[in-house]
Amino acid sequence: MAKIKPSKGAPYARILGVGGYRPTRVVPNEVILETIDSSDEWIRSRSGIETRHWANDAETVAAMSIEASGKAIADAGISAEQIGGVIVSTVSHFKQTPAIATEIADKLGTNKAAAFDISAGCAGFGYGLTLAKGMIVEGSAEYVLVIGVERLSDLTDLEDRATAFLFGDGAGAVVVGPAQEPGIGPTVWGSEGDKSETIKQTVPWTDYRSGKVAKFPAITQEGQAVFRWAVFEMAKVAKEALDAAGITADDLDVFIPHQANERIIDSMVKTLKLPESVTVARDVRTTGNTSAASIPLAMERLLATGEAKSGDTALVIGFGAGLVYAATVVTLP
């Protein structure tokens, strides 16, 4: 019986560079209030959101991804030709096939990199990061580009009082590469499909195509149920990720949770008993909920503003539709 030659990858992996892209149009709460019965004060008090970015016709999923990826590649100090894998997490690329990752890989100038899309909602960045780490350690790629990108304005029902104010557009990207010491900790991830109805698309595309419904499908959610789940269950997952990495909250420099809602963020900070010295990402205030893009966008902003620095230890956790979640501890690029 023939023996298969073992893979030879790097001993560890880490994030080497990060980049982000936010659409040029900034949308304040006042615009949202044109179609729902609410107030600026209500939106801010319930979510912390003041503004969000909405993409124009030219700011496609591919275009935003390419902009963010170019910055991440430059930040990592490598060339596009060295990228061996491109992973794109998105729920708002409206072609079933081919994967948008293939177009992005080509336009960036990679050398026929493996390219594929994943659909893991707001946990998508964590899922992609975990896959990239595995590819590098396994040896199937030296550098992997992980992109979280959404045009959620295309899936927003502006008459839905529960969700109209939540969503924004944008792209965040990181380059993951080889390391001689751990830079991405063990991932704590999973799903709770019995709660899948709490965040969902209103109707299948086929219902819209067949004329069963006249309104274009949108994202809807049961706000209170999602809030309770995120606050109580995701704090436990975050603690598990700290334990898996062999550190405590006192060892953290930065906390980068999914930017869904500032009240959820505040509750998680309290439950985890994070020291005041820990920098907490609050990009949700001006970017809104960008699903898979929210963690890399928040990471990029913290580094750009100096609120976080290279080498900091950060806990990242994403959670959303599915319901799915993924948390890990990383060293910032």
Cα–Cα dist 68/319, whole Å: 22
Rounded to an integer, what distance in angstroms lies between the CA atom of residue 128 and that of residue 82?
A: 18
Find where tokens 């948390």 sit: 327
Longest dimension (CA), the chain: 71
260 burial (CB, 10 Å; 0-12 / 13-18 / 19+) is buried
* Residue 81 and residue 317 in contact, taking contact as beta carbons nearer than 8 Å: no
Q: Of 29, 53, 93, 289, which is the active-site residue?
A: 289
Element (H, E) at 316: strand 313-320
Which H or E run includes 328? Answer: strand 324-331
Catalytic-labelled residue, pool 29, 53, 93, 122: 122
Token code pair at residue 279: 């920098």
Return the C-alpha torsion angle 319, 260, 287, 41, nearest 10: 180
56 in active site: no
Active site residue 53: no
Active site annotation includes 258:
yes
Catalytic (active-site) positions: 122, 258, 289
